[in-house]
Amino acid sequence: MPEGTMKAWLESSHLSGGNTAYIEELYESYLDNSQSVSEQWREIFQELPKIEGADVEYRHSAIRDEFRELAKQPSRQVVVSSGADAKQVKVLQLINAFRFRGHQNANLDPLGLWLRDKVRDLQLSHHDLSENDFDKDFNIGSFAAGQESMKLGDLHKALKKTYCGSIGAEYMHITSTEEKRWLQQRLESVQSSANLSKEQKLDVLKGLISADGLEKYLGAKFPGAKRFSLEGGDSLIPMLKELITRAGTHGAKEVVIGMAHRGRLNVLVNVMGKNPSKLFDEFGGKHDEVLTSGDVKYHQGYSSDFVTPGGNVHLALAFNPSHLEIVNPVVIGSVRARLDRRNCDQGDLVLPITIHGDSAIAGQGVVQETFNMSQARAFKVGGTIRIVVNNQVGFTTSNPQDTRSGEYCTDIAKMVQAPILHVNGDDPEAVVLATQIALDYRNEFKRDVVIDLVCYRRHGHNEADEPSATQPLMYKIVKKHPTPRQLYADKLISEGSITAGQADELTAYYRKLLDEGQCTVEQWRPMTAHSVDWTPFLGHDWDDEYEKEISIDKLKELAAKVAKLPEDHPVHSRVKKLYDDRKKMASGEKLLDWGMAENLAYASIVDMGQRVRITGQDAGRGTFFHRHAVLHNQEDGSAYMPLKHVREGQGPFDVHDSVLSEVSVLAFEYGYTTAEPAGLTIWEAQFGDFANCAQVVFDQFISSGEQKWGRLCGLTMLLPHGYEGQGPEHSSARLERYLQLCADHNMQVCIPSTPAQVFNMLRRQVVRPMRRPLVVMSPKSLLRHPLAVSSLEEMSTGVFHNVIGEIDDIDKKAVEKVVFCSGKVYYELLEQRRRNEQENVAIIRIEQLYPFPEKELQAVLEDYQHVKQFVWCQEEPQNQGAWYCSQHHFRAAIPAGTYLTYTGRKASAAPAVGYMSVHVKEQQALVNEALTVE
């Protein structure tokens, strides 16, 4: 602000610097409408500098900063004068106080157990106001009441109704003025009342009747059986139906929901439209799907369509293990896949809904990770609706003070400035309004939003539990507390919206539907609206035949594209050198290295019109500087990706450096690939051991999702692995853990040792119709090993060799010992044998450890039927690596009467030693031992 203007302003001001909140408020009003402030203020604001071309927010923020600076200067303190202007200031401060802190005195807890202090800022006296001022008119600034001024009495009532009723809105932590104003407008213009039509009220009641009716029915029919009842949180059902209906009306085509087990059966039957008779069968122990293992009923997912005024919406409830909250990134990944398929980058066509428990949302780190992902390029989906079924009991028996440190369980959402709408679960109309605002906010601003459904749990953790044992006071109240259905039916009867007879009829009708085993969801439709057909991928196995070859001409053409660097895109000299080499590889002057082979595989896939998606902490460049799929312009920082320029109409190539997380990124990619059978999806761990942090995703989804839930997943995981003296952590990707999870041909574990192998392995994952996870122990030093090179001809066969026999021209009859191995140790064995000029040892590489290629190994062993010594050689300690999990496969392949021995590091608690010298000694010893013929 220019000196002169500021001086004039100060001279004419009644205000101290401490009143900047008021000035901000007034100035914002002035920006919205210059007539909304008094003439005196208008004159002051008119004198403020204008920045041509800048938007209102910018001008405002610049001036706001000026005010803030001013506020810090004690010399400028002037006392608020008495009189009308001073009161006006206080009134605007009162409005602000309600916006900031109204939620703290809102009526949120249906049980009335929350002990909340009176908030001083919400008291009239705190603002030097009193009921004596109630009849006086005041300017109400931006308070969205549809008028400029109000009597203080009316304003006070409106503020209490808006901010201290059944909705406690937390949104003043948002810095965007536009978003804050939008939320204010939505809440204040209706004073937080839903104003539902009679028909809408009836729908809400029906939702509550169904929620309550199903639980009572199950409780009576299957007493004591675990069902993780929704009772107490019944409003979740009308909430979800409102969300889906409104989303469909606004153009959404698919909704994907993730939730843990509480209330899941209710959602399945009363929202998704699962036939109750199927559920009853499951309670009775019957199941009609023939899955290898199957899963309990409260982990089941479901798919259906739901009719809305905007057309049918496809609903998918994600399958979910017991591990709380891990389903969130899975759901969001599934949504991203569906959005990508629909070429929708704004999120309008597919809506994610995640349903959380109150202690889980606060306690589980994966929630923070998904909030952190919510606006990141690789993972954003245009916002997620996050619902907390806040039943005030953590997990089985914990009280909130033991399960979190923040005021609300939802505090974590503030990290991304998500608005949080706390709502009393016993006021279903408020629930509907909160739901509408949440969805509209998500659609408008493409950001996450939270609805905290404050409710209670009518029974114990499961139906066999006795909750009074640990929560005696709460359950004294719960036992006497009427159900949400009862409360709402009574309300509608007393206001004359329905008669008692109608309420009873609806209840009886719902029960009849259950008795007859009929679908209870009027909006349910048979499934037609989902966007992908999985049938071509069903019923295949890893050794299926498929079109493999790719012509040399095509490879040359693609290689030239992969190696092409635009002239006007200067890159770092090291990258330039790498690309110069790639040009030589493309023209046949050099054999191809790993990075080139990988890029060529991606090029061949996008050339087929299929998508490639790679995420990982260093995915663009590659942890070890080998991939360079993204070229950074050294002058302007812009990025160029050769793989986006393969041909017109090619498949998308998406490579993204991920957020720094393993568990939620891997879960996201699992979700992505279980919703998208086409193309290649890769998650790359920066070092293989980083995948330790994502073990739950391997255990509970990747390795067993098909067997538990019949959901295929073609995700590829690149886990750098190899003993190069980098110490206990960065040596091992813990191969043994993946092998231990292998059964039922559930996934593939591969250790490719040449560029041609990685090329064909990646292509195989796409071209072959089978969709199963692929765990790859990917290399580090082999990326630049002079022997780890391949020709275009080797790639052109399209064959991934599960077993590679001896490559040197040795006399097979002279062989006395056969060494089996996988990965980089192969090259050490080969080089040592060559140095030794040995002819009596053959080295056979097992490139796919699971499913084990018995026949291929046996075919290779045909030449060695005379050999008596067979050894498995590994770099890993004996209790790790492939030895314990795979030795039975090796044994089964060797000739009868022969035996297999082990060569490698001795068993060890740590994966590797931390001293380079010890590492080198160990490595040399194991190579020597493997090559020694007894």
Rounded to the nearest whole angstrom, what is the least distance from the CB of residue 529 to ligand AMP in the complex?
9
813 burial level (CB within 10 Å; 0-12, 13-18, 19+): exposed
- As separate numbers, helices (DSSP H) first and strands (DSSP E) second, the chain gives 33, 25
Check residue 336 for interaction with ligand AMP (CB under 6 A). Answer: no
Q: Which is nearer to ligand AMP, 131 or 744 (CB)?
A: 744
Compute the least distance from the CB of residue 709 to ligand AMP, in Å. 8
Q: What letter would DSSP give residue 394?
A: B
Strand partners, 315: 255, 304
Q: How far is the CB of 309 from ligand AMP (least distance, A)?
A: 22
- Between 539 and 786, whose beta carbon lies closer to ligand AMP? 539
Strands 848-850 and 841-846: unpaired
Nearer Cβ to ligand AMP (289/516):
289
Which residue number, 435 or 674, has a Cβ lying nearer to ligand AMP? 674
Q: Which residues 6+ apart lie within 8 Å of 191 measured at CB?
A: 158, 161, 162, 165
Task: Tell me the three state secondary structure of residue 340.
Answer: helix
Pick from 67, 534, 625, 884 the residue near ligand AMP by CB under 6 A.
Answer: 534
- For the bound state, the minimum distance from the C-beta of residue 333 to ligand AMP, rounded and expressed in Å, comes to 12
Burial class (CB in 10 A: 0-12, 13-18, 19+), 7: exposed
Nearer to ligand AMP, 342 or 491 (CB): 342
Cα 440 from chain centroid? 21
* Contact track, ligand AMP, 646-685, x by CB under 6 A: ----------------------------xx----------
User: CA 581 to CA 249: how far, in whole Å?
Assistant: 55
Tokens of 652: 């998308």
Closest by CA position to 538, among listed 680, 679, 711, 672 = 711
Nearer to ligand AMP, 471 or 674 (CB): 674
Binding string, residues 373-412; x marks residues near ligand AMP by CB under 6 A: ----------------------------------------
314 or 386: CB nearest ligand AMP: 314
Q: Is the CB of residue 51 less than 8 Å from the CB of residue 63?
A: no
Q: With 0-12 CB in 10 A as exposed, 13-18 as middle and 19+ as buried, what is 380?
A: buried
As measured in angstroms, the least distance from the Cβ of 712 to ligand AMP is 4
Enter the tokens of residue 209. 């009747």
* Least separation in angstroms between CB 316 and ligand AMP: 3
Nearer Cβ to ligand AMP (255/455): 255
CB of 714 to ligand AMP, least distance (A): 9
CB of 330 to ligand AMP, least distance (A): 11
Which helix (H) or strand (E) segment holds residue 350: the answer is strand 350-357
Task: Please name the residue that has the structure tokens 């039916």.
Answer: 489
Q: Is the Cβ of residue 150 or residue 713 nearer to ligand AMP in the bound state? A: 713
- For ligand AMP, the closer CB: 208 or 770: 770
- Please provide the size of the chain in residues: 934
Pattern 702-721, binding to ligand AMP, x per CB under 6 A?
---------xx---------
Closer CB to ligand AMP, 262 or 274, in the complex: 274
Q: What's the CA gap between 8 and 357, in Å, rounded?
A: 56
Please check whether residue 319 is in contact with residue 299, taking contact to mean a CB–CB distance below 8 angstroms. Answer: yes
Q: Considering the complex, what minimum distance in angstroms separates the CB of residue 317 from ligand AMP?
A: 8
CA angle, 594 then 599 then 603, to 5°: 145
Minimum CB distance to ligand AMP, residue 274 (Å): 12
Give the shortest CB-771-to-ligand AMP separation in angstroms: 7
Residues 87, 530, 824, 845: which binds ligand AMP (CB under 6 A)? 530
User: Could you say which DSSP state residue 912 is in?
Assistant: S
Angle made by CA atoms 354, 355, 358, in degrees to the nearest 5: 130
The amino acid present at 319, given as its one-letter code, is F
Which residue, 484 or 773, has its beta carbon nearer to ligand AMP?
A: 773
Question: Closest by alpha carbon to 352, among 305, 306, 317?
Answer: 317
Report d(CA 65, CA 384) in Å as an integer.
33
* # chain residues binding ligand AMP, by CB under 6 A: 9
With beta carbons less than 8 A apart as the criterion, state whether 773 and 738 touch: no
Binding mask 146-185 for ligand AMP (x = CB under 6 A): ----------------------------------------
Nearest CA to 410 out of 443, 461, 351, 367 is that of: 367
How far apart are CB 303 and ligand AMP at their closest, in Å? 3
Residue among 530 and 780 whose Cβ is closer to ligand AMP = 530
Identify which of residues 770 and 871 has a Cβ nearer to ligand AMP in the complex: 770
Q: For ligand AMP, which is the closer residue by CB, 534 or 884?
A: 534
Task: Classify residue 762 as exposed, middle or buried by CB count within 10 Å of its CB (0-12, 13-18, 19+).
Answer: buried
- Find the helix or strand (DSSP H, E) in which 449 lies: strand 449-454
Query: Using CB atoms, what's the residue nearest to ligand AMP?
Result: 303
- Minimum distance from CB of 824 to ligand AMP (Å)? 34
As a whole number of angstroms, the distance between CA 749 and CA 778 comes to 11
| Residues numbered 620-649 forming contacts with ligand AMP, rule: CB under 6 A | none
- If the CB atoms of residues 672 and 687 are measured against ligand AMP, the closer one turns out to be 672
- CA pair distance 638, 656, nearest whole angstrom: 15
| Min CB(69)–ligand AMP separation in Å | 55
Instruction: Write out the binding residues for ligand AMP, residues 275-334 only, by CB under 6 A.
Output: 303, 314, 316
Opening angle at CA 21, ends 15 and 26, nearest 5: 80
Give the shortest CB-258-to-ligand AMP separation in angstroms.
12
Q: What are phi and psi of 330, to 5 degrees?
A: -65, -45
Return the SS3 of 40.
helix
Token look-up 């574990």 returns 749
Of residues 341 and 457, the one with the C-beta less far from ligand AMP:
341
Checking DSSP bridges between strand 631-632 and strand 639-640, what pairing results, if any? antiparallel
Write out the DSSP string of 647-675.
Answer: STTPPPEEEEEPPS-SHHHHHHHHHHHHH
- What minimum distance in Å lies between the beta carbon of 539 and ligand AMP? 11
**Of 540 and 812, CB closest to ligand AMP:** 540
**Three-state secondary-structure class, residue 398:** strand
CB of 670 to ligand AMP, least distance (A): 10
SS3 349: coil
d(CA 748, CA 280): 37
CB of 768 to ligand AMP, least distance (A): 16
- In 3D space, the residue among 251, 84, 248 whose CA is nearest the CA of residue 152 turns out to be 84
Binding site for ligand AMP (CB under 6 A): 303, 314, 316, 530, 534, 674-675, 711-712
